[in-house]
A and B are shown apart, each in its own frame.
Chain A
Amino acid sequence: MLGRPAIKTWAWLHKWSSLVCTVFMLLLCLTGLPLIFHHEIGELLGTEARVADMPAGTPRASLDRVMEVARARHPGKGGMFVSQEPDDDRVWYVTLGDTPTSSTGLKQVAVDARSAGALAEPQLDAGFMYVMRSLHIDLFAGLPGSLLLGFMALLLLIALVSGVVLYAPFMRKLEFGEVRRQRSTRIKWLDLHNALGIVTLVWLFVVGATGMINTWADLIVEHWQADQMSEMLAPYKGRAALTAPGSLETAVQSARRHEPHMKISFIAFPGTSFSSPYHYAVFMRGEEAHTSRLLKPVLVDAASGQVTDSRTLPWYLNALLLSQPLHFGDYGGRAMQILWAALDLISIIVLGSGLYLWIAKGRSRAGAGNRLAAASP
């Protein structure tokens, strides 16, 4: 059992870690809510590509033709990425930029994978969902914004751990789930804060921790490039830079032959942060639920169309890839989306009640020890 000084220290830690991160966490909970349903909202807003049904076995268009169609809509821009949704291979999403490493002025064109007709241009830097996404990921401030939010997530984790430590002394005299509604508003919300906090603890900890890992995504990819790409590029030392990449269709067919039992997740063009200056990097994924999140890059020489290297990703990239579904809640169908939203709203109640308890405590000028005394029946 904790002594009084220890309780005071943990209470101090809980108070300050929570106070600093609460405003950010409320923002993240609110902006995260629409992000859970981004597909559904996209359909409502009409920004999702509408795909016509075609008979099964309709031949697929050459990816070179797909690229021509996309490029024709944005002359002067070059290919950066081509991707498809895990559950829908009827559409290619082509991302174009001024240079392979551009981070602004990007354009995306959704192209029908069978007819090679342009379907839509999902907006990458405007609209309601762009604002929600930016506020949620980096506060419109790029990597520093992301890292700030990552630090706030770390504070949340500290608040959760210290909250668990304080749960025991606060609950000594109470049954689980006892809510004293008759005493006072503050006591009622203290009990609800403790009970809701402990019930949602594991979920919020996992979503917070995976969110923190996601804020390091750019750094993790950069590290992977420095760490592994140099090895894969050793044979290319001294080779002149590629002037124009060769056929994408040939490259993708080579990758498919190399990994016949995998599907394409996305293709990174030469010179982008996911590839080398000489390769198309074709990122393949498994077809089972437990393998669909893990990617395997197949490097294809962009000039010759031959596979030159393929290796499984290092642990830190797998950790990043696995942390994504656990943060997004997009791996268990509609029911999971709704539960994610419900747990998000409950988290807002836990955050809000914590803030209220701090304000109410300031008003009554009671210290943590007194609060503990007040908490016992």
Chain B
Amino acid sequence: MKPPVSTTSLWRWPIALGVLSLIGLLAALFGDGAWDLASGLALGLIVAVCGWLLLVAGKRTR
């Protein structure tokens, strides 16, 4: 049996992606051009992570 993961490593990625989502949601409210791009990149990364989870994660045998 694997030992439980620490609270830090449990929440590291969820918090990082949550902050990234907030940046994506807010940036485009403040301006156009570069701000829109920042929003697009941040939310694009969130969608990319979801795509990875759905299509790639766990496909290889460990």
Q: Which residues of A contact B25 (CB under 8 A)?
A: 202-203, 206, 326
Is the Cβ of B14 less than 8 Å from the Cβ of A332?
no
Is the Cβ of B57 less than 8 Å from the Cβ of A179?
yes
**For the complex, would chain A's binding face be called helix, strand, loop or mixed by DSSP majority?**
helix
Rounded to whole Å, the gap between the CB of A186 and the closest CB of chain B is: 14
**For the complex, would chain B's binding face be called helix, strand, loop or mixed by DSSP majority?**
helix
Q: Interface extent on B, as a size class?
A: 35 or more
Is the Cβ of A172 less than 8 Å from the Cβ of B4?
yes
Interface residue? A362 (CB, 8 A): no
Q: Which residues of B contact A179 (CB under 8 A)?
A: 53, 57-58
The answer, among B24, B44, B53, for a CB contact under 8 Å with A199, is B53
Pick from B9, B10, B31, B52 the residue with the most CB of A within 10 Å.
B10
With A331-B28, A332-B39, A343-B47: A201-B14 Cβ-Cβ less than 8 Å: yes
Is the Cβ of B4 less than 8 Å from the Cβ of A335?
no
With A173-B5, A289-B30, A331-B29: A339-B44 Cβ-Cβ less than 8 Å: yes
Chain A residues bordering chain B, tally (CB within 8 A): 45
Stretch from A101-109, A137-145, A189-197, A311-319 that touches the partner? A189-197
Instruction: Point out residues on B near A: beta carbons under 8 Å.
Output: 1-2, 4-5, 7, 9-14, 17-18, 21-22, 24-25, 27-32, 35-36, 39-40, 43-44, 46-47, 49-50, 52-54, 57-59, 61
Instruction: Point out residues on A near B: beta carbons under 8 Å.
Output: 167-168, 171-182, 188, 191-192, 195-196, 198-203, 206, 288-290, 293, 322, 325-326, 331-333, 335-336, 339, 342-343, 346, 349, 376-377
